[in-house]
């Protein structure tokens, strides 16, 4: 899903995140043959959405240079440190990678506050 928050009032972001979560599995039943878990991939640039999703469900996308260092390479998806996706000794993203993205730049005022 590409930026599901587009066109959604900020007060409704929590419901959008919950709806996407419900696409992955019927949370009223235990996962199993009649209730299979589905992979749902969401791309977002919204700090509000990131704040509403548990760190265990986030992957941090960073650009990777090409082997020759010329031009743009692909992206690498990193799990968040201390999540179930993080492998021992493997590359991870931490709070320092996300903090600049999730905080308001100096001198800017928030139009709204999101409380998770």
Helical (H) or strand (E) element with 52: helix 47-52
Q: Per the confidence metrics, is the pTM higher than 0.85? A: no
Assign 113 a pLDDT band (cuts: 50, 70, 90): very low
Summarised one tens digit per residue, pLDDT across range 40-49 is 888 888 888 8
Rounded CA Rg of the chain: 17
- Per-residue pLDDT reduced to its tens digit, 44-75: 888 888 888 888 888 888 888 788 877 777 88
Gap between the Cα atoms of 9 and 89, Å rounded:
40
């Amino acid at each position: 899903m590409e930026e599901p928050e587009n066109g959604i009032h900020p007060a409704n972001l929590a419901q959008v995140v919950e709806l996407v979560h419900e696409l992955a599995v019927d949370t009223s039943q235990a996962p199993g043959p009649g209730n299979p878990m589905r992979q749902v991939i969401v791309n977002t640039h919204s700090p509000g959405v990131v704040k509403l999703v548990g760190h265990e469900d986030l992957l941090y996308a960073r650009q990777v240079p090409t082997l020759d260092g010329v031009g743009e390479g692909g992206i690498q998806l990193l799990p968040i440190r201390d999540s179930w996706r993080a492998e021992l000794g493997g590359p991870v993203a931490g709070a320092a990678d996300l903090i600049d993205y999730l905080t308001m730049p100096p001198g800017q005022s928030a139009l709204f506050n999101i409380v998770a």
